[in-house]
Amino acid sequence: MTARLIDGNALAQRIRGEVAARAAALRGQGTPPGLAVVLVGDDPASAIYVKHKVKDCEAAGLHSVLEKHDAGISEQALLARVSALNADPAIHGILVQMPLPKHIDPHRVIGAIAPHKDVDGFHVANAGALMTGQPGFKACTPYGCMKLIETTGIDLRGRHAVVVGRSNIVGKPMALLLLQAHATVTICHSMTADLAVHTRQADVVVVAVGRRNTLRADMVKPGAVVIDVGMNRNEYGKLCGDVDFDAVREVAGWITPVPGGVGPMTRAMLLVNTLDAAEAACR
Ligand code: GUN
């Protein structure tokens, strides 16, 4: 059996179209939705991610502001910038690109973002809302993964979902979203004794560890849904995920490619969260 591909590019394009229509309606009411993206330092990967986010805003008719700060900016000065953006009525969403330089406490910076502008869903108020089943912003990558899983038509109720990775950005919120959809959820991580024992039982596997070939064909239940959050380079410099794609696609029922799977959905869900924030501000 060869798995069906879950096309993240196509789904993201559809979502961007919906966002553009909502943005046009808000512009018509005199409130262009606005996103501020804050980049600290000169990490090349972060610079590329941030450029894409700003470009996505422009294409969908959102107002965007890119603030670049020197790696040496003090924590206090960065917190002051976040406060200014919190108070700016033209800005509905604020994203501070991670990672931050070592001398800056990311928890303090995320904690300074007004929760109603925290379109990353990283603030403890939004993380706690997800934990307790209340409305709030969902972290963009796991939110996008849920949309990708939805396209398979599989009812998650009672299914066994295994999340590999326990980061605050992906693994933990992913597990909570799957739980909210009534899946039975297992979280595996670097200290898990035998990863394959868990993944072999999974109807859905989400892999988010940042190491290629973490999930191999002999670790997958035939017909399973496999979502690959990884973004790595192979020995030839080619982009690849955490899943041994060519081998796993022969066992899985559904699989996301890298590139063209989760990546475009993370970007699309940031636009969705920003529109939600702007519409809420207009109410
Ligand atoms: N760094 C890697 N992924 C993300 C993300 O989704 N949001 C932010 N702010 N930083 C990141």
Residue pLDDT, tens place only, 101-127: 999 999 999 999 999 999 999 999 999
Using CB distances shorter than 6 Å, the residues near ligand 1 are 95-98, 120, 140-141, 169
* Fold of the 140-263 domain: Rossmann fold (3.40.50)
Q: 245 C-alpha to center of ligand 1: Å? A: 24
Both tokens assigned to 85: 């953006």
Give the integer Cα–Cα distance in Å for 231 and 242.
Answer: 7
- At 283, the pLDDT band (50, 70, 90 cuts) reads confident
Residue 280 has pLDDT above 90, yes or no: yes
Beta bridge partners of 96: 38
Position 273: which residue type? N
Task: Decide if domain 30-116 falls under CATH 3.40.50.300.
Answer: no
Dihedrals phi, psi of 69, to nearest 5 degrees: -125, 145
Q: Where are the domains of the chain?
A: 30-116, 140-263
Give the integer Cα–Cα distance in Å for 37 and 66.
Answer: 5
Residues annotated catalytic, as ranges: 53, 97, 120
Q: Of 273, 60, 260, give the one whose Cα is nearest residue 148.
A: 260
Q: State pLDDT tens for residues 166-205.
A: 999 999 999 999 999 999 999 999 999 999 999 999 999 9
Q: Which atom of ligand 1 lies nearest, measured to the CA of 139?
A: 6
Residue 1 has pLDDT above 90, yes or no: no
Letter string b/e over residues 266-282, b meaning 16 or more CB atoms within 10 A of that residue's CB: bbbbbbbbbbbbbbebe
Residue with tokens 């297992």: 186
Domains 30-116 and 140-263 share a fold: yes
Q: What is the pLDDT of residue 79?
A: 98
Give the integer Cα–Cα distance in Å for 54 and 93.
Answer: 12
Residue 98 has pLDDT above 80, yes or no: yes
Q: State pLDDT tens for residues 207-265.
A: 999 999 999 999 999 999 999 999 999 999 999 999 999 999 999 999 999 999 999 99
Dihedrals phi, psi of 7, to nearest 5 degrees: -90, 100
Which mutation among 169, 172, 269 tests ligand 1's pocket best, with the greatest number of atoms within 8 A of CB? 169
